[in-house]
Amino acid sequence: MGLFPKVDLKVIAWDVHGVLCPSEGVLDFDEDLLNWAETLSGQGLRQIALTNAPADLTRQIEAHLGDWPSIDLVLTSATTNLTKADPGFYDHVATEIATLPGSILLIDDKGTNINAAAAAGWRGFRYSPLARDALKRTLKL
């Protein structure tokens, strides 16, 4: 039995601030994680990014979308009118991307977001720089 035995993983949902961008409010991306996303995309896993960014930061993030070819969608609290601490956010995202919740893995640095995603049927990985190697093993990279 593997880590994800019942439902095939289809989508990786990356948190923007705290994971892809270690500093809150600053668009300074972790190139290694973006490379991991590209590798996973090449393996057929869809890559999306999620954030609680306000409207002005959402526009900045969307302007950078072309810099991340493997990430094909960014969903934010500003565009969904929901925050990541709300399980309804994850229901909205799953519907938007037409994917069963159990086949989506959220990688986030906040336990409240992981718990909300789990309440909506998603899988979760609580990220920290200390958990980097564990994430790499989880993603089979």
- Give backbone dihedrals phi and psi of 78, rounded to 5 degrees, phi first: -70, -30
| pTM for the structure as a whole | 0.89
Task: Name all domains of the chain by residue range, CATH numbers in brackets.
Answer: 11-138 (3.40.50.1000)
Report yes or no: 7 and 102 within 8 Å, Cβ to Cβ: yes
Give the span between the Cα atoms of 89 and 116, in whole angstroms: 9
Q: What is the mean pLDDT of residues 52-77?
A: 83
What's the pLDDT tens digit per position in 1-45?
455 445 588 999 999 888 887 666 567 788 888 889 999 999 999
Report yes or no: 123 and 104 within 8 Å, Cβ to Cβ: yes
What's the pLDDT tens digit per position in 85-130?
999 999 999 999 999 999 999 999 999 999 999 999 999 999 998 9
Task: Write out the two tokens for 60.
Answer: 């900045």
Per DSSP, the chain holds a count of helices (H) and strands (E) of: 6, 5
Give the span between the Cα atoms of 103 and 94, in whole angstroms: 9
Give the span between the Cα atoms of 27 and 75, in whole angstroms: 16
7: Cα separation from own chain's centroid: 18
